[in-house]
Structure 1
């Protein structure tokens, strides 16, 4: 909301101007970023919303990539440098997968 419109690409300038001058969005500018962009209408701000969601989705992808490399670094350490590719793949899958187990439901079953 605080970007200089003149410094932005021409295709986004009109939508940025409208977004920044809208009192509703001015009141919401301190919201969580994902909540804010869910409020932005894809009909009224199609280019701006699409761009923002693309940028936002990159950070989720980078997080997954970074966490996978971090897991790889811990799994394939100096002491475990001879681990086979199949075992390495299985270890990475186990490390990066999150499964929520409902223990109460499993016990009652």
Structure 2
């Protein structure tokens, strides 16, 4: 929406003139307004990109944590770049507006303040993890990357898995969730520890998907419909075996 507004700013000015909106028109003509708007387009675009990456059925605490940490590091890098007025890579829309001249010092100060506020808010909302949780996340993400001297006694069994050549090959080929399901029979204890990292919902995506699916199926004309089974089918990633399902049902109940 902001990008659309930015691209149509000349048309918006003309619209405000035509409809006699002097206060709004004056606000848009304040010095530095368009540069601030361009910055907002860039920063909201970056936040939306992070939000999109965190959605999806294959997301878990591990990859979502990586996405958040990467964005926090990116914010810190952008703050450093503000000291030299470098907005070319970080904020392309703003750069296109100020292409041949550097942004005003006041704008750079405001951007730096806003970025620091964002960093503080991310640090407040996403608290620093307990070292034991960080260690478990690291071992779950890749059991082969471990420091023997730093692994706690409760997680020593991970060392057995890291010396299993067959499972190490499977780890390279399989998605991380599939790998830990496959390792369940051989290493049930560490498998349970890994599942504690993989099973929890990483975002509200699945809840929102379920609500949308329910609204689609349960309309006013079907208000008494029991949607549990339909929702399970709509949200599941497992392909049903139709032949087995059909063969288990009796076609004519009266016989």
Structure 1 runs of 4+ with >6 Å offset: none
1:24 to 166, 170, 180: 166
Contact conserved, 1:12 with 1:48, CA < 8 A, in 2?
A: yes
1:39 to 178, 182, 187: 182
Q: CA RMSD in A?
A: 2.7
Deviations 1:8-42 (A, max 9, x none): 221211x2111001111111122201110011034
Q: CA deviation at 1:66?
A: 5.6
Query: What TM-score comes out, normalization by structure 2 length?
Result: 0.25
Cα distance change, pair 3–18 in 1 and its aligned pair in 2 (3 A) = same
What residue is the counterpart of 1:10 in the other structure? 153
Q: CA deviation at 1:50?
A: 0.3
Gaps of 5+ in 1: 72-91, 101-109
Which structure has the larger Rg?
2
Q: Equivalences for 1:50-65 in 2 at 5 Å?
A: 50-58=192-200, 61-63=201-203, 65=204
What residue is the counterpart of 1:95 in the other structure? 212
What residue is the counterpart of 1:89 in the other structure? none
Contact conserved, 1:37 with 1:52, CA < 8 A, in 2?
A: yes
Query: What TM-score comes out, normalization by structure 1 length?
Result: 0.52
Count of aligned pairs: 73
Structure in which a larger fraction of residues adopt helix: 1
